[in-house]
Structure formats: structure tokens, C-alpha cells
Amino acid sequence: MKQTIPVIGMACSACSANVEKKLSELDGINSASVSLPGRSALIDYDPDVISLEKMKTEINEIGYDLVIDKKTSVEEIEKRTYTLLKRRTLLSWLFAIAVMCVSMRWIDLGSRDISNQVSLLIALSNMLCCGRQFYVSSWKQLLHGTANMDTLVALSTGIAFLFSSFNTFWGDAAWASRGVVWHTYFDASVMIITFVLTGRLLEEKAKDGTASSIRQMMGMAPKTAHVVEGDRIEEVPISTIGVGDVLEVRPGEKVPVDGEVISAESFMTADAAYVDESMITGEPTPVEKKKGAKVLAGTIPSQGKFRMRARQVGEDTALAHIIRMVQEAQGSKAPVQRVVDRAALIFVPVVACIALVTFLSWWVIGGNTYLPQAIMSAVAVLVIACPCAMGLATPTALMVGIGKAAQKQILIKDATALESLRKVTALITDKTGTLTIPNRNIDFTKADNLPLEVRETLKPKAREAMESLQQSGIEVYMMSGDKEEAARYWADKAGIKHYHSEALPQDKENLVRRLQTEGKCVAMVGDGINDTQALALADVSIAIGKGTDVAMDVAQVTLMGNDLSAIPEAIRLSRNTVRMIWENLFWAFVYNIICIPLAAGLLYAFGIDWQITPSWASALMAFSSVSVVLNSLRLRWMK
């Protein structure tokens, strides 16, 4: 069984890596892929070996939670979590303003001792009221031998607070007698928590935008439906509808489930209604629906009303299948993300070691006189080395890219498919049903004696799509079972230079193999059972959504409509998404490479009296995470 399960409590890439590692170690779980921006885990497991309850218990022990109760609204949980985070952030800012007023002497409290003691109380209150989750989470991580961003925050603020508390009560006795000028750093402790919370708040808001495509699709399903029982029509929750129920759908209402029309009427005709299916197929023209026609959940009658019998309900509807497919694709991981996840697992311990080396270097070189400087430099290193930006770089771009594709009726099965699309150098396309549409009301027993332009029509935008692909450097080949003259005619109509006539399924597979041996990355586009051999062998397989289920099951990419311009659009989207991933990773690594030495005080070695303070480190850390998410969101507005 494969299932996408919401995960609560993740804050950084180390969190998602820890959850994934824990799940992967459990007996009965074949594979687990955890998405930080998607806040979910895609789990392939054997329900006879392990239950969802067991998974939940194991994940709870390391400080996170799985939402396995289908009655529980994940949206409500996330909304409450966001509201709580917002309140804590606002309260933390009040504590930050208060501690700055005292530490900067904007409010005169008399003696230095009183000011330090008041600052201590403010900092302690902030840690207990606003930063409590950092210490609880890091303690749970420690018990299981793991670490995450919370560990760095807890260490840095804890060290700053304890050192400042020591100085408050024993500073003169410990340092003044040795000629060391001492200070307290309660403001740093408060500002670190404040900026980290602010960063997470902005990050959550930005990440919320990456999942907008899923929410839009979920919003396509209505909450209620009109059930026909004899002469009565009753409005009921959609969850109560069963297979076989008779429903009435009126103009402007959404079709509640998949089913079959049993009667229809409109002002245009007495036996048909017209349904807008553009949200599923992308086709702008309403489709005529008579008795026996299939209707899909989420579509809308634009003219007339009809009664239908429910055939697929709940998670069995086509809309639910599409949503599930997009969720799984967004939760899948590109090959580069696997490397990032392994790095995230060791990142926090490595940062802790760098901070320790920073502390020892300052102390050994400068002696006790530089002990305060040594401590604050180590704290700044702990704060600024944020694994969040690195962990968000790939999945946020993938979520936006795959979500944008879904909005354009392009369903991409996983991250690997999205990454492979950009490499395509040759594309093979079937003709009938893919490039062309057979004309209606044709006597196919006499079809061989009819002109071609009569038997079929070229799909809208097919020629533009093929020309666009060829202009971008992709070789296009058309495979047709037609005779030479017919195949040449349709290749010319579609603007395709290379074509093969009288092609059998094996011929399509052989062409894929030949092009691959020539070093080309091959994409195959098809819609029928005769295309499945070639689809399965191709580097990227693309199915037409109105084709057979077999072709769609094999394909990595499914086009839900007849608009073939979606193919070059999908390839451009793939190139933009992968470029965005590398941009994000570049800036995330550059950020750490530059900022960690500056926080450690490297410039002092060159005679420059400047370094990043703990407070500024927390602000920069928050900015790095938010900037990566915002950069990924640019994909939503790219052409």
C-alpha cells in the first residue's frame, strides 16, 4: 500500500531527514519519502506487517507527529499551528523590544545589576513562553541521537543565557579581578528566538503558496450533493454518497462524484445537458452529455441539468486520483535531493564542531581576556548555520513546478520525470489519437476509400507544438500504421520532418532503442495499447489523458486534454524548475560558506575589527530560508 500522510512539527531539512530515516528503519516499510514544504510523507508499506498507529507512535518519540485519522482536518491543524506561531512571534517581539530598552539603557533602572536582573527575567520569560518548543524538540532529538535546527537554536540561546546569568551574579568576582571587561547577552538570546520565529512565520506563509495548486484542486470537489429519493430531493454531505445513489446536478453546481447520466435536459435540447470539463481536461468547449454519458467529479453543468447514478465515490473518483497523483509527485524526490538529505543528517553535528573549534581558537589565542568573545563567536556560528535553506532548495521548486503543471492539465508522475524532461533531444509521436482526431459519423468499413482529411483532423495547435519542439533542437519522429502516402500527408500537415509508415508496435520500440543507442534522450507520446511497449522503454513517456488506462499507467507524464502545445510547455517548465533548484542550492551553500567564517570572526585575522553578531546571525538565517522559498515561487509567474 502506498499512502501520503501529513507530518506535523517539521521545521528544517534535518527534521524531514530524521523522519524519513526513522520511517525507513521500521519493519514493513518498503520506502519513505518525506517532503518538508509539503509537510507530508509518501510511504510504501505492508499493512500486514506494520500499522499506521505503530508508525505514529515511533514518529511521536522523536518529536513529530503523523496525522492518520482521516476525520482530522489537516488544514485546521495547520491553521491552528500557524495561529499559535503568529502569537508566539508577536509576544517574542514584545520581549525583544523590552530587553532592548533595558540593555541599551533606553529605560533607566538605576544600577547595572538591576538592569541585568530585569533582562534575565525578560529573557527567561521569552525562552519559556515563546521558545519552549526549541528545547523540548532538541531534548527529544538528543535522546534518540539525532539533531536538527532546534538543536542549534537551543544550544546558542542556552549558552548565551547561562553565560549572561553567570556574569549577572558573579561577573565582577570572576572577571574584573583579572582585568577582563564583561557583558551580558540577554538581548542576543531574545533576538535569536525572535528572528527564528519570525523566519518560520514568513517561511510558513511562503510555503503555503507552494501548495496552492493542491488546495485549488481539492476545492473543485463540492461539500454537498442533491440525492434523489423517490419524489424527494435532499441535500446531503458528499461523504454520505454511496455507489448507486441517484443525484441531481443543476446548472452552476459542481458534479459531486463520478457517474453516469440517466436523464438530462436543457433549453437547447430536451435530452442533453452541456458540461464544462475544462478544470479536468483543459478543453474550453462544454461537452454534450446525454443518457449513458460519463460525468466526472468537479466538472460544472454550464447549460441544463441532469440526473446521474454514482459510480465512483470518495477516493475512487478521477479528481481524487489526480489529486493523489500530484501529491505523490510533489512528495517524491529528485536525485539531487537524496544527496542534500544525507548532508542534512550530518550538518548539525558538523556545525556544532565548527562552533567548538571557533570557541577554542578564540580562547587559546586570546586567553581568558577573550573568553566572552569566544563564547559569542561560537553562538553566532551555531545560529547562522541554518540547514533550512539547503533543505528547502529542491522540494519547494519541485512543488511549485509540478503544481503549475497540474494547473495546466499536465500530470507529472514524480520528480525524476520532471528532471528528465529537460534532457529530451528526440520525441516520437503516435499519429491517430495523438496528433489527429478520427472524424465522427464515418463508416470505417469504407474508410480506406475516403480521403484522409475526411477520415481525420489534425488536433488544434499540433503543428505549432511540433514546430516549437523542433525549433528548440528536439528531433520529432511520427510513427503511423498508415500507408506511405497517408503518413507523408499527415507528417507534412503537422510540420514533422521524420516519419515512418505502416509501423507496428515493435517498430516503435525499435526506433526508441535506435535513438537511445545514438545517445539521444527519447520521449515517446502515445495514447493506445499499441504504444505501451515504446512508452515503457522511452526515457520519458507521455500519455494522452483521453487514451487508454494502460498507456496512462505506463506513462511518466499525462496530458489531460488535446492541446499538444502542453508538450513543449512541460519541457520548458522542466528546464526552469531544474534551473531554479540549482540556483537555490547555489545560494544556500554560498550563504553558509560566506557567513559561517564571518560569524566565527575570520576577518579579525586580517586586521578588520568586524564580525556577524548572534542577533544579526539569527536575522540572516531567517532571511536565507525565506529567500529560497520566494525564489521558488517565481516559477508560478514564469511564462
SS3 26: coil
* Distance between CA atoms of residues 268 and 390, nearest Å: 58
Angle between helix axes 388-407 and 186-210 (nearest 10 degrees) is 20
SS3 420: helix
Residue 613 is placed in which grid cell? 553578531
Alpha-carbon dihedral 79, 82, 87, 89, rounded to 10 degrees: -170
Residue at grid coordinates 519513505: 32
SS3 146: coil
Closest CA to 434 of 341, 509, 545, 342: 545
Helices assigned H by DSSP within 233-366 = 278-281, 318-331, 335-366
Q: Residue type for 522, please?
A: V
Catalytic residue (one of 276, 430, 531, 563): 430
Q: Are strands 540-544 and 557-559 parallel, antiparallel or unpaired?
A: parallel
Would you say 19 and 39 are in contact if contact means Cβ atoms under 8 Å apart? no
Closest CA to 508 of 433, 431, 594: 431
Catalytic, 430? Answer: yes
* Distance between CA atoms of residues 160 and 118, nearest Å: 16
DSSP 432: B
* Distance between CA atoms of residues 567 and 439, nearest Å: 24
* Distance between CA atoms of residues 428 and 530, nearest Å: 14
- H or E element in which residue 189 lies: helix 186-210
412 has which bridge partners? 557
Residue at grid coordinates 523522519: 19
Q: Residue type for 238, please?
A: I
Contacts of 576 (CB under 8 A, 6+ apart): 401, 635, 638
By residue count, the chain amounts to: 639
Would you say 547 and 437 are in contact if contact means Cβ atoms under 8 Å apart? no
User: What is the greatest pairwise CA distance in the chain?
Assistant: 109
Active-site residues, by number, are 430
